[in-house]
Amino acid sequence: MPYQVVKTAIPEVLILEPKVFGDDRGFFFESFNQAQFEEATGLKRTFVQDNHSRSSKGVLRGLHYQLPPHPQGKLVRVVAGEVFDVAVDIRQDSPTFGKWVGVMLTGQNHRQLWVPEGFAHGFVVLSDSADFLYKTTDYYMPALERCIAWNDPDIGIDWPIEGMTPALSAKDQVGMALVDAMRDIETVLNTEQGNA
């Protein structure tokens, strides 16, 4: 089994630790194997898109999610550098609604984080730069992308950024409050039901 699966405080959010083979020449590991992913996690997912971002120290991206009917599940990892990666449960009927988990992902620990559909996702870069890779279960659709404010007090993420002012994109600077994001999702779901 190439993965060891570690559960987080939110059971659906999983840390995957791959088996790494290394010696003085370097290392090798399977970064993804569909059959082994399904066996280790019990999840049946098809990944349709791979993304790669590079960010400098202090860049904070998120909290991003995609509206129904095209929410994205994400399998994320860092290949160089260090980030603090966060998943926030925005499923209104969930017992962990509004809760978050944060995990350090680095080029050295090779950890991956499974962020399911129905979660907002974000990260902050703690090293001089970081290369961040992620697989998604649905295609990126700009019209359905939304952002919750990274510092929403109703969520209360404990970002490890003492002494840093995070660098935000224009869209992340105007992220919604969680309560407004939920109204937005309800409107979309009611519209879909009305069109069904």
Residues with catalytic annotation?
64, 134
**At 103, which helix (H) or strand (E)?**
strand 100-106
What gap in Å lies between CA 154 and CA 152, rounded to an integer? 5
Q: Any idea what the Cα angle at residue 10 is, between residues 78 and 47, rounded to 5°? A: 50
Q: Where are the alpha helices (DSSP H) in the chain?
A: 34-41, 170-173, 178-195
Q: What DSSP string runs through 166-182?
A: -B--HHHHTPBPHHHHH
Nearest-Å Rg of the Cα atoms of the chain is 17
